[in-house]
């Protein structure tokens, strides 16, 4: 069996999906001048406030170099370890951990930097384009290839020896460059959208701090600014903690799903996951349309959802039901405040720490009139919708890029070379 057959068995015998004749299956060792591992010793004694830059795993993102966290190494130590330095255009990849194989191209400002425990690949510029290789490693095909090469049981590692045997279908260099150029435009659009989401999230956070504390007042229905005094009320005065159990004998026709802890989301109810209610559903908590759901396990404290239907949920989710003259949408925004999250984070239990209702119920909430609550919630909900729309755009871009990448990296769709 040839490398081509091993790499692309699904194309064998399919004329309409045949690999272009000028494309060749190569192992990375045939296309690179150097494949190595960065420093594998403790560098803490050699860290300095300035000196030679050190590339670490946190700098490596998929097709993106994160330069926000930079540390420096003593120049004399760096000179003694020249073989661990990278050049502009090298590929650096994560060699262990949950994001194993994640790779990017070394940018100009990190030319000559040292690397710590990362993989280094230096493509032969006559045979392999750096950005094409980075794109390939980060694609679904590349991730599958990395998984094939990984060694090491419970904590897999991708070593330089395995990376040398990384197989890819390589078109002629001009076509590689064109493919990389096309896909880079999608990366830029994705990065731009991600930044817009981050900016919108920061703007919403700042708006929350102003509106939910009364520092900024909105206009009432008469066009005049709200002026009434706010009260500071315990959280338990605003909501009740629902503990109603679901009875499948009487409610089986009313409830069709069970919301689990990992499925609630602060983005959109349309993204909320569900499972069948058949598995021990009588142990679940029932919720109603308008209730606010809040994950009480410490790892899920930033998961929340305003129910738009009745149902049942995991007992690891708090169900808050608003009392009279309290807007559910207002409470939904309150539980997103950093100050509320901080109080909820004062957990009880050691095996799996949970938020403590006896602490949360006494947390004082700045509370305006019902009308002002509703106005505040409407403004913040509009900000949420903007973030949701941007997130949907981002998901669409990623799906389109993924589909295009599958076509381009297999030769099913050819690019035009000028």
Over residues 345-393, the pLDDT tens digits come to: 886 665 667 888 999 999 999 999 999 999 999 999 999 999 999 999 9
Given this chain, do its domains 172-217+371-418 and 231-367 carry the same CATH topology?
no
Return the pLDDT at 154. Answer: 61
Do the bridges between strand 311-313 and strand 258-259 make them parallel or antiparallel, or are there none, so unpaired? parallel
Average pLDDT over residues 321-326: 95
Of the ranges 86-90, 234-238, 411-415, which one carries the lowest mean pLDDT score? 411-415
Return the pLDDT at 256. Answer: 53
Digit-coded pLDDT (tens) for 81-94? 999 999 999 999 99
Return the pLDDT at 13. Answer: 31
Average pLDDT over residues 106-115: 96
Return the pLDDT at 153. Answer: 57
d(CA 300, CA 281): 21
- Cβ contacts of 60 within 8 Å, gap of 6 or more: 66, 92, 93, 94, 102, 103, 104, 118
Return the pLDDT at 353. Answer: 78
Q: Is 222 helix (H, G, I), strand (E, B) or coil?
A: coil
Return the pLDDT at 186. Answer: 93
Quickly name the fold that domain 3-170 has. Answer: Adenine-n6-DNA-methyltransferase TaqI; Chain A, domain 2 (3.90.220)
- Its pTM stands at 0.79
Digit-coded pLDDT (tens) for 174-218? 999 999 999 999 999 999 999 999 999 999 999 999 999 999 999
The answer to whether residue 129 scores a pLDDT higher than 70 is: yes
Digit-coded pLDDT (tens) for 248-305? 555 555 455 677 766 676 534 433 444 444 444 556 788 899 999 998 887 776 788 9
Average pLDDT over residues 335-348: 86
- Cβ contacts of 228 within 8 Å, gap of 6 or more: 368, 369, 372
Instruction: Spell out the CATH class of 172-217+371-418.
Output: mainly alpha
> Length of the chain, please?
418
Return the pLDDT at 3. Answer: 43
Provide, for the chain, the percentages of residues in helix, strand and coil under a 3-state DSSP scheme, each rounded to the nearest 5: 40, 20, 40
d(CA 116, CA 88): 17
- Average pLDDT of the residues of the chain: 86
The answer to whether residue 76 scores a pLDDT higher than 80 is: yes
d(CA 162, CA 245): 54
Return the pLDDT at 9. Answer: 34
Do the bridges between strand 231-234 and strand 364-367 make them parallel or antiparallel, or are there none, so unpaired? antiparallel
Confidence category of residue 155, pLDDT binned at 50, 70, 90: low
The C-alpha torsion from 56 through 58 and 59 to 60, rounded to 10°, is 100
Return the pLDDT at 247. Answer: 60
Contact 358, 296 (CB under 8 A): no
Return the pLDDT at 114. Answer: 97
Of the ranges 16-20, 66-70, 168-172, which one carries the lowest mean pLDDT score? 16-20
- Structure-token pair, residue 291: 């209730």
d(CA 212, CA 222): 21
Q: DSSP states of 97-121 as a string?
A: STTTT-EEEPPGGGTT-EEBS-EEE
Quickly name the fold that domain 231-367 has. Answer: Adenine-n6-DNA-methyltransferase TaqI; Chain A, domain 2 (3.90.220)
Return the pLDDT at 168. Answer: 95
Return the pLDDT at 237. Answer: 97
**Among 278, 11, 273, residue whose Cα is nearest residue 141:** 11
**Among 93, 190, 173, residue whose Cα is nearest residue 137:** 93
Q: Is 226 helix (H, G, I), strand (E, B) or coil?
A: coil
Q: Where are the domains of the chain?
A: 3-170, 172-217+371-418, 231-367
Confidence category of residue 219, pLDDT binned at 50, 70, 90: very high
Better-scored residue on pLDDT, 247 or 234: 234
């Amino acid at each position: 069996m040839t490398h081509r057959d091993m790499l692309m068995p699904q194309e064998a015998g399919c004329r309409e999906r045949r690999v272009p004749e000028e494309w060749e299956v190569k192992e990375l060792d045939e296309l690179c001048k150097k494949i190595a591992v960065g420093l594998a010793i403790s560098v803490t004694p050699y860290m300095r406030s300035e000196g030679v830059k050190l590339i670490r795993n946190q700098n490596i993102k998929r097709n993106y170099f994160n330069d926000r966290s930079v540390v420096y190494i003593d120049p004399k130590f760096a000179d003694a370890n020249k073989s661990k330095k990278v050049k502009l255009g090298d590929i650096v990849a994560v060699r262990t951990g949950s994001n194993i194989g994640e790779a990017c191209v070394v940018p100009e400002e990190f030319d000559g930097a040292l690397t710590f425990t990362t993989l280094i690949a230096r493509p032969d510029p006559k045979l392999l384009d750096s950005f094409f290789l980075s794109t390939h490693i980060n694609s679904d095909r590349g991730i599958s290839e990395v998984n094939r090469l990984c060694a090491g049981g419970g904590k897999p590692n991708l070593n330089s020896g395995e990376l040398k045997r990384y197989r890819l279908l390589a078109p002629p260099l001009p076509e590689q460059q064109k493919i990389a150029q096309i896909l880079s435009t999608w990366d830029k659009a994705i990065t731009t959208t991600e930044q817009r989401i981050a900016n919108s999230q920061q703007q919403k956070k700042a708006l929350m701090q102003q509106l939910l504390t009364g520092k900024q007042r909105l206009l009432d229905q008469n066009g005049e600014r709200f002026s009434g005094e706010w009260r500071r009320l315990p959280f338990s005065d605003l909501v009740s903690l629902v503990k109603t159990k679901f009875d499948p004998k009487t409610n089986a026709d009313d409830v069709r799903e069970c919301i689990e802890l990992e499925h609630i989301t602060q983005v959109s109810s349309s993204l909320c996951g569900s499972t069948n209610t058949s598995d021990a559903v009588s142990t679940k908590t029932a919720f109603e349309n308008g209730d606010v759901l809040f994950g009480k396990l410490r790892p899920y404290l930033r998961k929340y959802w305003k129910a738009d239907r009745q149902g049942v949920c995991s007992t690891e989710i708090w169900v808050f039901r608003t009392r009279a003259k309290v807007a559910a949408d207002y409470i939904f925004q309150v539980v997103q405040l950093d100050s509320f999250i901080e109080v909820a984070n004062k957990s009880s239990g050691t095996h799996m720490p949970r938020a403590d209702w006896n602490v949360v119920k006494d947390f004082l909430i700045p509370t305006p009139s019902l009308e002002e609550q509703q106005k505040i919630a409407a403004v913040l909900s509009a900000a949420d919708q903007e973030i949701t729309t941007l997130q949907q755009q981002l998901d669409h871009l990623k799906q389109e890029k993924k589909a295009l990448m599958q076509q381009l990296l297999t030769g099913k769709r050819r690019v035009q070379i000028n």
